[in-house]
Amino acid sequence: MKTALVTGAGRRLGADLARSFARDGYRVVLHANSSFQDAKSLSDSLNSEGYSALAFGCDLSLYGTIAHFFEQVIAATGIPDVIVNNASSFKYDAPGSVDQEILQRSLQLHVIAPVLIMELAVRNKSCHQAVTIFNILDQKLVNPNPDYFSYTVGKAGLHSATRLWQGMDMQDVRVFGILPGLLFPSGGQTADRYAEDVMKSPLQKAVTASDIYDAIAFFVRNKGIKGQDFAIDAGESLTGRARDVAFE
């Protein structure tokens, strides 16, 4: 049985991806921090339905926790065949009012943690194992605006790391960058405002977690596709915005 690790799998996109992997026959490793109880409940639910899942709690923003977390994963399942670096922190700041704690947490969570997870996977896998890695980015990296500054800096760092990994000559390790558009209400959006903002995209539709998973499953199956970046955003990255869509 192949194994998929999803970080930030307690809620929202991560939880939906974990369910989809389980239903596709993967043994699923769910990581969560503040939403660990949600991840544990989801893991228990999947196991009760006949799937295979386990949950680990870890604050990936703390120095020194990442190696221990990944050692636990290896001990339980071996090196995952698919890794989705999804754990994130989305808090508001902007140039001129940058919050140092938000910035430090963003860099640790969005850059250092996924890079070290990739490193540990590659260093510890067998020479015969293929590993496919997906780093969840953000479509706003294509046309950045200053809102959510620290979050954007962190995701931009992960984007650069993803591109550098893609340039490595590794036949058995592929690294993809997924740049989603609006998936869920966030940043104080009401349901009505979210529905309104969705209509601002060129395709005038919401992106769903199923859209993201379908792309992941496609890339995993198609071994002839080398790691690269894809925007799954209803065309949002093709437009330029002076502010985050929630403020327009």
Phi, psi of 97 (to 5 degrees): -140, 40
| pLDDT class of 242 with cuts at 50, 70, 90 | confident
> Is the pLDDT confidence value at 54 over 80?
yes
Beta-bridged to residue 179, according to DSSP, are 231
Distance CA 87, CA 143 (A): 22
Mean pLDDT of 85-90: 97
For residue 116, the one-letter residue type is L
**CA nearest to 221, candidates 138, 151, 130:** 130
Question: Which residues, 6+ apart, have CB-to-CB distance to 162 below 8 Å?
Answer: 135, 137, 175, 176, 177, 227, 229
Domain ranges of the chain: 3-184+206-241
> Is the pLDDT confidence value at 50 over 80?
yes
Q: What is the pLDDT of residues 177-232, one digit of tens each?
A: 999 999 998 877 888 998 998 899 999 999 999 999 999 999 999 999 999 999 99
Per-position b or e across 107-118, b if 16+ CB within 10 A of its CB = bbbbbbbbbebb
Fold classification of 3-184+206-241 is: Rossmann fold (3.40.50)
Average of per-residue pLDDT values in the chain: 96
| pLDDT class of 76 with cuts at 50, 70, 90 | very high
Q: What is the pLDDT of residues 119-177, one digit of tens each?
A: 999 999 999 999 999 999 999 999 999 999 999 999 999 999 999 999 999 989 999 99
Higher pLDDT, 85 or 188: 85
Q: Supply the pLDDT for residue 42.
A: 98
**Mean pLDDT lowest for which of 58-62, 92-96, 182-186?**
182-186
> Is the pLDDT confidence value at 75 over 90?
yes
